[in-house]
Amino acid sequence: MRWSMLVFLGLATSILHAQLWEEVVLAEGHQGLIRQVVVGDFDLDGDLDLVRVTPEGLYLHVAAPAGDLGDGMTLKAVEHWRVVVGDLDLDGDLDLVTLEGDRSIHWHAGDGMGGFVEMAEILAASTQNVLFGLGDLDQDGDLDLVISTAAEGLAWLAGDG
């Protein structure tokens, strides 16, 4: 199976209330399925980088000065379903919260240079469907994690920075 990763660059026009798009191929010819893509400046160089989630693993594409994202490097070579991005430890760089194939949720602290260190398993493996998101629910300045599972319902984990 061949796939291509495309980015459509948009230009909003207030008069027409429409989007004009330009297709840019970032990578092609790889094997596998992309389940999700998130964007952020993971190496703190001012350019937006990309993380893609696949059944084969989690991959980081660091933007080169010319904008090329290349083939990407493996962050973790196990099945993943979902990722959210935010600065959980308030150190100024982006971290990842991931849902792995066994339905466990993990926090990976970013180092500001495009690397990540797995810090904790937030939720153990589950047979249930799991959804989650980040936001400052208690408005204390750090990110909180909202987790929804079929068996447990909705839970909120307050972050402490």
pLDDT in tens, 82-93: 999 999 999 999
C-alpha distance from residue 103 to each of 4, 7, 46, 66 (Å): 27, 28, 33, 37
Q: Is the pTM of this model over 0.85?
A: no
- State the pLDDT confidence band at 127, using cuts at 50, 70 and 90: low
Residue 105 has pLDDT above 80, yes or no: yes
What is the pLDDT of the chain when averaged over all its residues?
Answer: 81
**Least confident piece of the model among 13-17, 53-57, 89-93:** 13-17
Which of 2-11, 58-67, 110-119 holds the top average pLDDT?
110-119
Q: Cα separations (Å) of 104 from 3, 63, 86, 120?
A: 27, 29, 18, 11
Give the residue from 121, 125, 95 showing the smallest Cα distance to 108: 95
How many whole angstroms separate alpha carbon 66 and alpha carbon 136?
35
Sorted by where each begins, the domain ranges of the chain are 3-157
